[in-house]
Structure 1
Amino acid sequence: MRIAVPVETEGQETRVAATPETVKKFIGLGADVTVQSGAGAASGIPDADFEAAGAKIAATAQDTFANADIVLAVRRPQAAALAGVARGAAVVATMDPYGNEAALTGLAGTGVNAFAMEFMPRITRAQSMDILSSQANLAGYRAVIDGASEYGRALPMMMTAAGTVPAARIFIMGVGVAGLQAIATARRLGAIVTATDVRPATKEQVESLGAKFLAVEDEEFQQAQTAGGYAKEMSKDYQAKQAALTASHIAKQDIVITTALIPGRPAPKLISADMVRSMRPGSVIVDLAVERGGNCELARPGEVYVTDNGVKIVGHLNVPGRLAATASSLYAKNLFAFVETMIDKEKKTVAINWDDELVKATLLTRDGAVVHPNFQPKSEPTA
């Protein structure tokens, strides 16, 4: 059983899909692990550390992939790079499938079994495999650090002989994993924090972290969540009232952090150009959804854009990768927890249980075809 860990070729990617810790664990399960030279460099892991853990170091991607039974990656590998991989090998990575259907078809053509880690179901059994949560947690933390850096002023209130420094006001839009970590981080740094979300259940979470919840809390809002915990689409009237409340609130904020994402769809626009124009010079917006089109109308992917009225809009790509060492450590543990379920501990071979709910949820390609139900042709309605 041979496991391959390549260098990431995506320009902005600094993470690596294995660490010396997980390499040791895979070897303990009977695997031979090959790591491409330099794969961990951007995460502060030299080749020597992988070697000390028992991995072989390969000079090229071709040598790394040769005869691999399992490929671990952060981003979806290019189909051409997988030419030497054994047919039927498991490729486990963040696949970013939506909008990249042609790449999925190419991946299927290589004959690999591709697993999308971002499709991991959010069930108790899979908590240790949830890459979205582990990476979003870091993104929420880093968003506050980046926002504070661009703000250029102190966050906590300070009483000094020269006068009082007021606490910064930070507004978090979207209270998922990233939003909750952003709230906690901003509070630890002494800011006055408010947050908003369309799900009523998040109010208690926000307040438990010492922040104030912002929403139009009418009767419709109280019914804005399904039994499964997901947000319902609100009426146009409610959306207008909430937008007006948000707009007046944003004008008073020093830092705004947006975290709203919808799987398979462009990020919802939460901050309009008019809202940006209402903000004070020197204030900051950190858009964590910029890779999906952004929550802020004026966000620019990969840039820190300064508007005419002096508002900085931070659009960093791959925010978890800005904490590469920590992000790689958590991501690698997520992958190990999943891949371990595919290994026969006695025979020390790959043994995928195709009926496993985790496999069914994450499997993208098999036997030369794209098999995930989200990417099957829609059947025509019968007359």
Structure 2
Amino acid sequence: MTHTKQTVVGVPKETYPGETLVALTPAHVPLLTKIGLHVLVESGAGEAAGFEDEEYRIKGARVASDRSELFASAEILLQVRTLGANPDTGRHDLPLLRADHVLIGLADPLGRPEAATELAHLGVTVFAMELMPRIARAQSMDMLSSLATIVGYKAVLLAAASLSKLFPMLMTAAGTIPPARVLVIGAGVAGLQAIATARRLGAAVAAYDVRPAVKDQIQSLGAKVIDAPVEAGEVEELSGYAKTLGEHIYRKQRERLTPVVAASDVVIATAAVPGRPAPRLITADMVARMARGSVIMDVAAERGGNCELTRPNEVIVHHGVTVLGPTNLPNTVPMHASQMCGRNLANVLLYLCKDGFLHVDVADEITRETLVTRGGAVVHPRIGALPRATHYDVAEEGNA
């Protein structure tokens, strides 16, 4: 195929309710223009994250006056949340999409494969950042890890602000104040960052995870390991995430966690399974055993929550225990969140583009694992095998 013009990368303003991030910051523009790409940004796209239109212009981007102009001019679209991860307001862009468009961003293909099918029918090529393989050469493109780092950090700060106690041990004229006892459930990227943050604040930290491989990481951060009542090997080989386990295993986990939760001042719950409702590991009875003034920060709220009392974006008080269920903590630090995610997305383009044009090599692992739709079809076998309507409606799906 002979190219007559260089590829235009479009950065539309995010439309997910309350979203403050932008998919590319001004600092990332020169990285793309250097390899021959043109960058077009929708006017106002970066304002909520602290980036003005003029900053983009100074760095070499053009600014589109409206969304229609951007979609009409761009071949590649970078979004924090594409249709699958923005199922309601994301639909407003469907009339603007065309068959030669390439979408790169969060797409929730495991949770909402029906969105992938819809985009495939339009002929749109979709790369889902959630499917980035956890291999060394893909680390700089791992958007989920960037977001999870922020989630773990902010979860601890918000929990500390809600706790009726101080986090560190203090020696005062009025006596010694013991450190807060923090339990982190799930030692993925968010959990490990939560451990590190709680330790920096002076708390005594314990952590629980079903994966034996993370034990050393927990201990390296100075936290105590709570042994898990499951067999080794219960993880997905490609992703490194925990699998959905049987209810009898979850029951054993709850039994093991009950006394630990009861003795904790703060519980940071981060356990998640990609594309599935979060495992229910904390019951209302377990919460009732905690001391009044304690806090549960459930960052798995968007997927139904690890605690049965959790309600997305609500604060629940049960027997004097506060249960928090935030669903978009990166929104609270949009400047740095955009810097991190924007660099991930820029690195994807640097990897996929040669001489200013996109090259799709399905023999390459990173390309193959993130490519969801192409040529009018869902090409990712894992996504194509899923039911068309999968979501996180816990009332229908139960505890998985």
Give the alignment's TM-score, normalised by structure 1: 0.91
**CA deviations over 1:163-209 (Å, ceiling 9, x no partner):** 22221110000111111111011001000101111122222221111
1:19 maps to 2:29: no
Give the 3-state SS of the residue equivalent to 1:103 in structure 2.
Answer: helix
Matched, 1:260 2:267: no
> Matched residues in 2 for 1:328 and 1:235: separation?
37
> Across the two proteins, how many residue pairs are aligned to each other?
373
Q: Give me the identity figure in percent.
A: 46
For residue 329 of structure 1, what is the aligned residue in structure 2? 339
Q: 1:136 aligns with which of 133, 140, 148?
A: 148
- Once the two structures are TM-superposed, the CA of residue 123 in structure 1 deviates from its matched residue by 1.2
Q: Is the contact made by 1:69 and 1:85 (CA closer than 8 Å) also made in structure 2?
A: no
Match of 2:392 in 1: none
User: What do the CA deviations read for 1:39-90 (whole angstroms, capped 9, x no partner)?
Assistant: 1112111112112111111221111111311100000143552544553221
Determine if contact 1:79/1:107 at 8 Å carries over to the other structure. no
The yes-or-no answer on 1:352 pairing with 2:360 is yes
- Aligned partner of 1:18: which letter? L
For each residue in 1:218-268, what CA deviation from the matched residue of structure 2 results, as whole angstroms up to 9, or x when unmatched? xx65x4556946657878776555422310111111110011110121110
Q: Deviation digits for residues 28-49 of structure 1, max 9, x if unmatched?
A: 1122211111111121111121
Change (3 A) 1:338 1:79: same
Structure 1 segment 213-228 matched on structure 2, within 5 A = 213-215=225-227, 221=231, 223-224=232-233, 228=237
Matched with 2:8 is 2
State yes or no: 1:48 paired with 2:50.
no
Partner of 1:73: 79
Q: Distance between the aligned counterparts of 2:282 and 2:116, measured in 1? A: 33
How much does 1:378 deviate? Answer: 7.5
Q: One-letter code of the match for 1:312? A: T
1:31 to 28, 37, 41: 37
CA RMSD of aligned residues (A): 2.3
**CA spacing shift, 1:226–1:282, aligned 2, 3 Å:** closer
1:151 and 2:163 correspond? yes
The two structures have a TM-score, normalised by structure 2, of 0.87
User: Residue 66 of structure 1 aligns to a residue in which SS?
Assistant: helix
Distance in structure 2 (CA, Å) of the matches to 1:240 and 1:66: 53
1:114 match: 126
- Tell me: CA distance 1:230–1:112, structure 2 relative to 1, closer, same or farther (3 Å): closer
- Alpha-carbon offset, residue 15 of structure 1: 0.9
Aligned to 2:207: 195
| 1:280 maps to amino acid | A
- In the alignment, what sits opposite 2:394? none
